[in-house]
Amino acid sequence: MRRKAPNGSGQSRATAEPSAPRQALDTAKLETFRSALKRARSNKSISKYADQAFATKDPVVKAAYDELKMRLANAWKSEFQQALAQADFYLGSKKPITREDRQALENFIKKMKKLLKGRPHGGERRPPAAAERAAVYLARERLKFLRETSGRKRISKESGSKLIAETIEAVSFQLGVPSKKISPENVARLLYKK
């Protein structure tokens, strides 16, 4: 049995030096990193050179180059994000905006506002329709009370239409819906529906 010397002075060769396969793996990683760093530096210098070269070209060629750079910079993004980046690229133009461009931008903003609202989770009921249902419920309750007090199974059409008009007035006052918007025909149809 061997004793270890204090402070690492008597370490064996196996623990002091890495194994040959391990050393080859570390060397390969280091070389891969160096080559990637060289490529990045080269690409950056080429990009700077291309920017300088295209700055002096025809405006149409420069615009195409700038659009290509924008597309490459956003290639990993979703389609929607790419469309937003493209819109941002075109909005940053120094040229004056024409009337058609202004109209197109307004239409685009309207569509974006609709998207930001999100999907509706069931719309609110129309106030007249809700008031009609409330009038039907109230008329049914009053009819029930009238039948019990009078002892009859049916009431006349005149008293039925008078009852509907009264319930419409009561409901329009309670719900704040004008009585003109509540249809007596719809209330009668829903009331006498079997």
pLDDT tens digits for range 168-185: 999 888 888 888 888 889
pLDDT interval class at 8 (50, 70, 90):
low
Looking at residue 2, its pLDDT comes to: 57
Q: Note whether 128 and 182 are within 8 A (CB).
A: yes
Alpha-carbon gap, residue 89 to 81, rounded angstroms: 12
Q: What is the 3-state secondary structure (H, E, C) of the chain?
A: CCCCCHHHCCCCHHHHCCCHHHHHHHHHHHHHHHHHHHHHHHHHHHHHHHHHHHHCCCHHHHHHHHHHHHHHHCCCCCHHHHHHHHHHHHHCCCCCCCHHHHHHHHHHHHHHHHHHHCCCCCCCCCHHHHHHHHHHHHHHHHHHHHHHHHCCCCCCHHHHHHHHHHHHHHHHHHHCCCHHHCCHHHHHHHHCCC
pLDDT at 179: 85
Give the pLDDT score at 58.
79
Res. 107: pLDDT tops 70: yes
Contact 175, 130 (CB under 8 A): yes
Q: What is the pLDDT of residue 32?
A: 78
pLDDT tens figures, 115-155: 777 666 665 667 788 888 899 999 889 888 888 888 887 87
Q: What is the pLDDT of residues 44-92, one digit of tens each?
A: 677 776 777 777 777 777 777 777 777 777 677 777 777 777 777 777 6
